[in-house]
Amino acid sequence: MSKPVIVPVIMSGGAGTRLWPLSRPEKPKQMHKLFGDMTLLQQTAARVPADCGFTAPIVICATSQCEDVRQQLSTIGIEPVTIIGEPVPRNTAPCADIAARAVADLFGPEALVLLLASDHFIADPIGFRAAIHQAAPVCQQGHIITFGPKPVRPETGYGYLLAGARIADGICKLDKFVEKPDLKTAERYLEDGNYLWNSGMFLFPAELMLGEITKYRPEIAKACQQAYKNSVIKDAEMLLDADSFSTGVAESIDNAVMENTDIGAVIALDVGWSDVGSWQAIYELSQKDFNKNACSGQTIAVDSENCLIRSDGIRIAAAGVQDLAIIANGNDVLIMPLKQAQKVRELVEQLDN
Amino acid sequence: MSKPVIVPVIMSGGAGTRLWPLSRPEKPKQMHKLFGDMTLLQQTAARVPADCGFTAPIVICATSQCEDVRQQLSTIGIEPVTIIGEPVPRNTAPCADIAARAVADLFGPEALVLLLASDHFIADPIGFRAAIHQAAPVCQQGHIITFGPKPVRPETGYGYLLAGARIADGICKLDKFVEKPDLKTAERYLEDGNYLWNSGMFLFPAELMLGEITKYRPEIAKACQQAYKNSVIKDAEMLLDADSFSTGVAESIDNAVMENTDIGAVIALDVGWSDVGSWQAIYELSQKDFNKNACSGQTIAVDSENCLIRSDGIRIAAAGVQDLAIIANGNDVLIMPLKQAQKVRELVEQLDN
């Protein structure tokens, strides 16, 4: 079998609220420098470089974000194959369809799509690339590969994948998708060993995925086909046709295809993966000082421990506090216990009212 | 004995750090609205109105504050007798000297000086005025009266006064000044009943105080005499001579006179007095919502209790926190447990380094 072409397609459409007040619709999480000198989007693109067996990336993002995306990639010397603008957010199933369509169009139907979230963290990129290249030949044989980080704690914030019969070295049939479990169930999964986290990253032959979407969600396939066909090229970006794309339902690729397909497979990852889905996660991934505080920006902490303190402007002075997230961004400052980081959503809902 | 002239002299020279980030040298605590629609300075002046047996007030403040003081009093319809500008802060002994000198000069040597802090809270102003008028005749007989709020808790943040033999109805000889005690001692004082809080407010005949200062601190009296004599009138303010005033040592009237004099007396107060000396004190004096949060400005609190949350600009969003002071002012935001409010000083010292 010939060495496959692997095209990274970065989904940068999220506008999550879990990292409010940093993450906002006009500048979502992936556009921020959360660790080190690169934004999460830049880190994602830099993780699959041209000299490691990948083409330049395609990015799919909100139309309003295209310019920022191009600018961020340009800063680190990456010129994307194209940037595809979504007129409205429609979750990951239409995104996977468009990704497959564009890759088939530009690189041929056999080319592999490496569908990546733009806002994850991976401590060991070499290990991650090794897994991709290990999975590629299996993928070419007609599988949609999911990447399943091995659980290292009974996490209730992630969905899980159940690995089934062995297909190839390190790769198993995908038996089941499981929604976010309660703590007891998560502990059982951790114990079991066959359950992996659902990272939301995939590897698949372009045409194969188009077939599966057409099979299980013909209305999504049709809407995407029209949106792609009627797209316009503007300033080197491909803008999907708003009318057609909007008619498609919003659904995750997990629900639309992976829960139905017979050709799903999974490869376990042990690469220090995180979806960076909460301030707690960011605290855990950040460098800490002697008092286990992770501070950035204009901050001062006295008699304080285990805090994440970040400011993009205003000076934060903390004294005698523990285990807090204190995040100033723009005209907002958030204060909450790191352990209750899921409360951000509730808070943001109240703010909008 | 003739009905005395009582001249309120408001000491507005403080630039305390205990209410950082609100209180700053350029706009100290007394210039802020902490409760209701008036600043503490305005409340202080409004508490001793012309139709309740007082002259218009004199204010002593930093030269740089004169204009702001006049503006604040003007807003509530009070025109001070004069505003005296201090070129440098020298604590309360020089302030009492200048107060006595100005009152003797403008109202005669027998006039009574009611020396008031500008930044205290009194829940029952009628009771306070009744105490002043009760003390005035005793004062005229040759006493320096101190006002001693009855302790309602074993407070370690205040100094104490020990009341001695009875002089008149409700008024005792002042036996002793006591520095801030430890908790055990404070509990004993509370039990004892003869210990009162030191409010730092005084009533005395002008000339009598000048005599006591000359007797116990001749160098302070001399510096103040020169500073007063060489003062200049500018825009209706009296600016003390900087060279002379600066030569005087900085000392509290407690140390300089009250600990030495034989003519001290004390009247107990039961008027809901507070020196508003910490964010904890402000929380206790503030109106609270259903969750016992005291919020002002752009704030939102979810699943949070017993917090003081104040902002003059940036929006504060708190979730899942308890017992915190969260104070945003200008370019700073402070986060600390209300119970550890004394840590503000330590923090401000670090900020200055």
| Closest by Cβ to A302, choosing from B314, B326, B350 | B350
Average pLDDT over every residue of B276-297: 94
Of the candidates B255, B233, B292, B246, the residue with the CA atom closest to the CA atom of residue B96: B255
pLDDT tens column, A126-171: 999 999 999 999 999 999 999 999 999 999 889 999 999 999 999 9
- A347, closest residue in chain B (CA to CA): B302
Angle between helices A206-216 and A92-107 (to 10 degrees): 140
Question: In the predicted model, is pLDDT for residue B341 greater than 90?
Answer: no
The pLDDT confidence band at residue A310, using thresholds 50, 70 and 90, is: very high
Task: Extract the tokens encoding B186.
Answer: 């404070």
Looking at residue B212, what is its pLDDT? 98
Instruction: State the smallest CA–CA distance between residue B19 and chain A in angstroms.
Output: 13
- Judging contacts by C-beta atoms under 8 Å, the chain B residues touching residue A334 are 317-319
C-alpha–C-alpha distance, residues A44 and A9, integer Å: 10
Number of H helices, E strands in chain B: 11, 20
The pLDDT confidence band at residue B348, using thresholds 50, 70 and 90, is: confident
Of the candidates A213, A319, A218, A323, the residue with the CA atom closest to the CA atom of residue A257: A213
pLDDT tens column, B32-44: 999 888 999 999 9
Q: Are B310 and B324 in contact (CB under 8 A)?
A: no
Higher pLDDT, A27 or A58: A58
Question: In the predicted model, is pLDDT for residue A8 greater than 90?
Answer: yes
pLDDT averaged over chain A? 94
Say if the Cβ atoms of A331 and B319 lie within 8 Å.
no
Looking at residue A248, what is its pLDDT? 86
| Closest by Cβ to A321, choosing from B302, B318, B336 | B336
To the nearest whole percent, how much of chain B has pLDDT over 70? 99
Q: What's the first-to-final CA gap in chain A, in angstroms?
A: 57
C-alpha–C-alpha distance, residues A115 and A100, integer Å: 9
- Judging contacts by C-beta atoms under 8 Å, the chain A residues touching residue B328 are 314, 333
C-alpha–C-alpha distance, residues B204 and B265, integer Å: 10
Per-residue H/E/C for chain A? CCCCCEEEEEEECCCCCCCCCCCECCECHHHCCCECCECHHHHHHHCCCHHHCCCCCEEEEEHHHHHHHHHHHHHCCCCCCEEEEECCCCCHHHHHHHHHHHHHHHHCCCCEEEEEECCCEECCHHHHHHHHHHHHHHHHCCCEEEEEECCCCCCCCCCEEEEEEEEECCEEEEEEEECCCCHHHHHHHHHHCCEEECCCCEEEEHHHHHHHHHHHCHHHHHHHHHHHHCCEEECCEEECCHHHHHHCCCCCHHHHHHCCCCCEEEEEECCCEECCCCHHHHHHHCCCCCCCCEEECCEEEECCECCEEEECCCEEEEECCECEEEEEECCEEEEEEHHHCCHHHHHHHHHHC
Looking at residue B1, what is its pLDDT? 64
- Judging contacts by C-beta atoms under 8 Å, the chain B residues touching residue A297 are none
| Closest by Cβ to A314, choosing from B319, B326, B331 | B331
Q: What's the first-to-final CA gap in chain B, in angstroms?
A: 57
Threshold 0.90, pTM exceeds: no
pLDDT tens column, B292-304: 999 999 999 999 9
To the nearest whole percent, how much of chain A has pLDDT over 90? 87
Instruction: State the smallest CA–CA distance between residue A29 and chain B in angstroms.
Output: 19
What DSSP designation does B146 have? E
Pairs of CB atoms within 8 A across A/B: 105
- Alpha helices, DSSP H, located in chain B: 40-46, 66-75, 92-107, 125-140, 183-192, 206-216, 218-229, 242-247, 253, 279-285, 343-352
- B309, closest residue in chain A (CA to CA): A335
- Scanning the structure block, which residue is given the tokens 């080319």? A111
Instruction: Please state, in angstroms and as integers, the Cα–Cα distance from residue B161 to each residue in A93, A102, B149, B256, B268, following that order.
Output: 77, 84, 9, 15, 10
Say if the Cβ atoms of B350 and A315 lie within 8 Å.
no
pLDDT tens column, B93-135: 999 999 999 999 999 999 999 999 999 999 999 999 999 999 9
- B353, closest residue in chain A (CA to CA): A300
**CB-based contacts of B204: which residues, under 8 Å, 6+ apart?**
B100, B112, B113, B115, B139, B143, B144, B145
C-alpha–C-alpha distance, residues B49 and B64, integer Å: 26
Instruction: State the smallest CA–CA distance between residue B333 and chain A in angstroms.
Output: 5
Q: Are B12 and B60 in contact (CB under 8 A)?
A: yes
Higher pLDDT, B310 or B347: B310
Domains and CATH numbers, chain B: 6-274 (3.90.550.10), 279-352 (no CATH)
Q: Are B336 and B322 in contact (CB under 8 A)?
A: no
Of the candidates B272, B256, B261, the residue with the CA atom closest to the CA atom of residue B217: B256
- β pairing state of A237-239 and A232-234: antiparallel
Say if the Cβ atoms of B343 and A302 lie within 8 Å.
yes
B interface with A, Cβ–Cβ below 8 Å: 21, 300, 302-303, 313-321, 324, 326, 328, 331-337, 340, 343-344, 346-347, 350-351
Task: Extract the tokens encoding B40.
Answer: 């503490």
Say if the Cβ atoms of B333 and A315 lie within 8 Å.
yes
Looking at residue A353, what is its pLDDT? 59
Q: Are B317 and A329 in contact (CB under 8 A)?
A: no
Say if the Cβ atoms of A324 and B321 lie within 8 Å.
yes
Q: Are B198 and B159 in contact (CB under 8 A)?
A: yes
- Judging contacts by C-beta atoms under 8 Å, the chain A residues touching residue B21 are 317
Q: Among A17, A280, A314, which would you mutate to test the B interface (most chain B Cβ atoms within 10 Å of its Cβ)?
A: A314
Instruction: State the smallest CA–CA distance between residue B275 and chain A in angstroms.
Output: 23
Looking at residue A1, what is its pLDDT? 64
- Judging contacts by C-beta atoms under 8 Å, the chain A residues touching residue B319 are 334-336, 340, 343-344, 346-347
Most confident of A282-286, B96-100, B341-345: B96-100
Q: Among B333, B339, B345, which would you mutate to test the A interface (most chain A Cβ atoms within 10 Å of its Cβ)?
A: B333
Average pLDDT over every residue of A320-337: 96
Say if the Cβ atoms of A319 and B313 lie within 8 Å.
no
Q: Are A167 and A268 in contact (CB under 8 A)?
A: no
Looking at residue B2, what is its pLDDT? 79
- Judging contacts by C-beta atoms under 8 Å, the chain B residues touching residue A347 are 300, 302, 317, 319
Say if the Cβ atoms of A335 and B347 lie within 8 Å.
no
- Nearest-Å Rg of the Cα atoms of chain A is 20
Instruction: State the smallest CA–CA distance between residue A179 and chain B in angstroms.
Output: 26
Looking at residue A230, what is its pLDDT? 96
Q: Among A335, A340, A347, which would you mutate to test the B interface (most chain B Cβ atoms within 10 Å of its Cβ)?
A: A335
Task: Extract the tokens encoding A255.
Answer: 């629900």
pLDDT averaged over chain B? 94
The pLDDT confidence band at residue A351, using thresholds 50, 70 and 90, is: confident
Say if the Cβ atoms of B320 and A303 lie within 8 Å.
no
Cα-Cα-Cα-Cα dihedral sign, residues A176, A177, A182, A188: positive
Looking at residue A26, what is its pLDDT? 85
Q: Among B278, B302, B332, which would you mutate to test the A interface (most chain A Cβ atoms within 10 Å of its Cβ)?
A: B302
The pLDDT confidence band at residue A236, using thresholds 50, 70 and 90, is: confident
- β pairing state of B171-178 and B308-311: unpaired
Say if the Cβ atoms of A337 and B350 lie within 8 Å.
no
| Closest by Cβ to A335, choosing from B321, B332, B347 | B321
